[in-house]
Chains A and B, each alone.
Chain A
Amino acid sequence: MNNELTTTEKNVEQLDASATPSESWHDDSIYSPRFDCWESAEEIVMYGDLPGVMPEDLDIKFEDGQLLIHGRVQARHSDYEFRFGEYGLGDYKRSFHVGEMIDVDSISAELKNGVAIIRLPKSEHAKPRKIEVKSA
C-alpha cells in the first residue's frame, strides 16, 4: 500500500515554468496535422486531428490533383497572462495527392470535436465489381 502510494506520488509532475517556450503563443508556425485514412470499396475516408479549428476556419480545396487542407487557429485567452506551455498554437496545413480513382466533385467534409472527416468517393470505374464467371 505504502509502495503504491509512493509510485503514484512519483507520477505527479510539477508543471515546469522553465519549460516556457516562446512558441506556446499563437505565432506564425504552421503545424502539419496527423491523418488516418480508411479505404473501402466505395470511398476513402480521411480523419485529421485539427483541435481548435472552428468550421468556418477550415478551408479544404482541390487543386491540380492535390487536396489542400488549411485550418486557421485563433489566439485563445488573450485576456489572461500566458504562464507556460507544452504545445504551440498555430495554423494547420497539409496536402494530399488525390489519384484518378476519386470522384473529386463528390468530396465532402465535416468537422466534429476538432476532427476533420473528409470523404472521397471513388469514381464509378474505380469501384470493384464482381466478374461473372461463366461455365464453358
Chain B
Amino acid sequence: MLASRWEPSVQMNRLRREMDRLFDHWGNGRPTSSRHTFPPLNLWANDEQLIVEAELPGFELEDLEITVTGGNRLRIAGERRPPEHQEGQWLQRERGFGKFQRSVDLPAYVDSNNVSAHLQHGVLTLTMPKREEARPRRIEVKVGD
C-alpha cells in the first residue's frame, strides 16, 4: 500500500495551509478575512512595472478570468477541476478543487490595457505597466541664493 510519511526536516507547507483555506472557502461564500483567501499573491516592482504572481498548479490560462478595473483593482477568478477517472477510488486527497475569486487593490495605478498574463509551470505572472503618474520622478532641487 501507499502511505505518506513526513520528513522530519520538512516544514509544514504553506500550500497545505492555503489549500485548507481553499477547502473551507471555495464554493461556499466569501472568505471571512484576508488571511482566508486563495490564491496567495506575491508582488514585485520596479520603477515602470508591477509584477503580481500566484501559484495556480493544474490551471490553464482559459480556466482563469483576470480583470483590472479602475486602474488598480485586480480580480482573479477561476476554477480547478479534479482529474477524471473511470474506475477506482481516491486513497488520499490533499489538493483543493472548485471555484475561487479574489479581488485586491494594487499599490499603484496601472495601465489596464497593457496587462500581460503568463501561466507557466503552474505559476501565474501578471506584468502591469505603472501609469505615468504612478512612476517615481526625480525632484530637481535648486540651490537657493
Contacts and interface: CB of A to CB of B under 8 A. Distances in A.
A47 B13 contact: no
Interface in A117-131: 120
Contact of B92 (A35, A95, A113): A35
Given A49-B58, A80-B45, A83-B44, A35 B7 contact: no
A21 to B, nearest CB: 10
A97 B135 CA distance: 53
Which interface residue of B1, B6, B31 has the most chain A CB atoms within 10 A?
Answer: B1
B44 A31 contact: no
Contact of A53 (B16, B119, B121): B121
Interface of B: 1-7, 9-16, 18-19, 30-31, 34, 37, 40-46, 49, 51, 53, 55-60, 73, 82-83, 85-95, 102-107, 119, 121-123
Given A31-B14, A80-B46, A36 B90 contact: yes
Interface string A33-68: 111111111001111011111100000000000100
A132 interface: no
A15 B53 CA distance: 13
Given A49-B15, A99-B2, A15 B105 contact: yes
B24 to A, nearest CB: 15
A134 interface: no
B44 A30 contact: no
A15 B122 contact: no
Contact of B44 (A14, A32, A50, A81): A81
